[in-house]
């Protein structure tokens, strides 16, 4: 005698409800992606594609709530969410939104930067002589604070020319190097870069309240005159991806 068994296959895709973003224009770059999911089975994963780019796996709070905090730029955006369950049924939901294209950028230089970088050259020769605001291995006094609304920021720096003391003695700019870091105010172990009169990138894609720390170093031969040498800098902040 044969026996017939019936197997029920679950074929209902997950139902995705979009919590955020709404189909509107936002005045900030800080827009979280949030969804809630309903399904007869457990959810395996949820992903999203922003502006038809590759899929990004979302963070799971529980089996019905997923989120992510993306990096956004101004302009219109297309967003599609995908979720699949343990039977490999896929659900999808889409929306579009925009970020206001207006932006505001400002930077605040520490006092040591506004008056120029200074070295007290007493005995010569010198090799990697610390600038007076480096504070040796302690936290530097050279820093730049960034304020940004509705944009990410690239930060550039250049020198205005050679180093000069009060008696008009000159040290060529090629003798100056610097380090930069956006997280370590001591800059220990940071790579040195030779200073030039061309803008060089010292911070990329930075958000509001970011900080860039700097230290400066000087070489000088024994034939160089002693004195306090100053180098004046130009520092410029632009929207991420733009030229200074």
Longest dimension (CA), the chain: 112
Q: Is the peptide bond before 181 cis (omega within 30 degrees of 0)?
A: no
What's the token pair of residue 98? 């925009």
With respect to residue 10, please indicate whether it lies within any of the assigned structural domains: no
CA 225 – CA 211 distance, rounded (Å): 35
What's the token pair of residue 23? 């189909």
- Specify whether 201 is located in the same domain as 148: yes
Domain termination residue (choose one: 78, 99, 120):
99
Half-sphere exposure in the Cβ direction for 202 (13 Å, CA):
33
| Count of the separate structural domains present in the chain | 2
Instruction: Indicate whether this model's pTM tops 0.85.
Output: no
DSSP H helical segments within the chain, as ranges? 111-114
- Specify whether 158 is located in the same domain as 221: yes
- Specify whether 38 is located in the same domain as 86: yes
CB 64 within 8 A of CB 35: no
> How confident is the prediction along the chain (244 residues), in pLDDT tens digits per residue?
555 554 445 578 999 999 999 999 988 878 999 999 999 889 999 999 999 999 999 999 888 899 998 988 888 999 999 999 999 999 999 999 998 887 789 999 999 999 999 999 999 999 999 999 999 999 999 999 999 988 899 999 999 999 999 999 999 999 999 999 999 999 999 999 999 999 999 999 999 999 999 999 999 999 999 999 999 999 999 999 999 9
- Specify whether 162 is located in the same domain as 188: yes
3-state secondary structure (DSSP) of residue 156:
strand
3-state secondary structure (DSSP) of residue 173:
helix
- Specify whether 85 is located in the same domain as 185: no
In this structure, what are the phi and psi dihedrals at residue 141, rounded to the nearest 5 degrees? Answer: -95, 0
Count the helices and strands in the chain (H runs, E runs).
1, 22
What's the token pair of residue 9? 């296959």
Domain residue limits at 86:
15-99
Residue 34: other Cβ atoms inside 10 A = 18
- Specify whether 120 is located in the same domain as 187: yes
């Amino acid at each position: 005698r044969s026996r017939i068994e019936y197997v029920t296959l679950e074929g209902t895709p997950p139902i995705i409800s979009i919590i955020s973003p709404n189909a509107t224009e936002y005045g900030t770059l800080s827009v979280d992606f949030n969804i809630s999911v309903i399904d007869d089975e457990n959810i395996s994963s949820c992903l999203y594609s922003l502006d038809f780019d590759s899929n990004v796996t979302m963070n799971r709070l529980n089996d019905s709530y997923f989120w992510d905090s993306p990096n956004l730029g101004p302009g219109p955006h297309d967003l599609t969410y995908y979720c699949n369950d343990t039977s490999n049924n896929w659900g999808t939901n889409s929306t579009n939104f925009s970020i206001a294209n207006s932006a505001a950028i400002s930077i605040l230089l520490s006092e040591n930067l506004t008056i120029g970088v200074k070295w007290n050259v007493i005995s010569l020769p010198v090799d990697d002589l610390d600038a007076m605001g480096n504070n040796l291995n302690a936290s530097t006094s050279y820093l730049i604070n960034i304020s940004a609304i509705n944009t990410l920021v690239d930060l550039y720096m250049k020198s205005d020319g050679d180093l000069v003391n009060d008696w008009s003695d000159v040290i060529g700019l090629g003798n100056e190097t610097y380090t930069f870091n956006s997280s370590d105010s001591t800059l220990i172990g940071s790579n040195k870069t030779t200073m030039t009169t061309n803008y060089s990138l010292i911070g990329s894609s930075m958000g509001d309240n970011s900080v860039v720390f700097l230290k400066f170093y000087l070489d000088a031969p024994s034939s160089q005159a002693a004195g306090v040498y100053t180098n004046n800098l130009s520092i410029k902040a632009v929207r991420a991806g733009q030229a200074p």
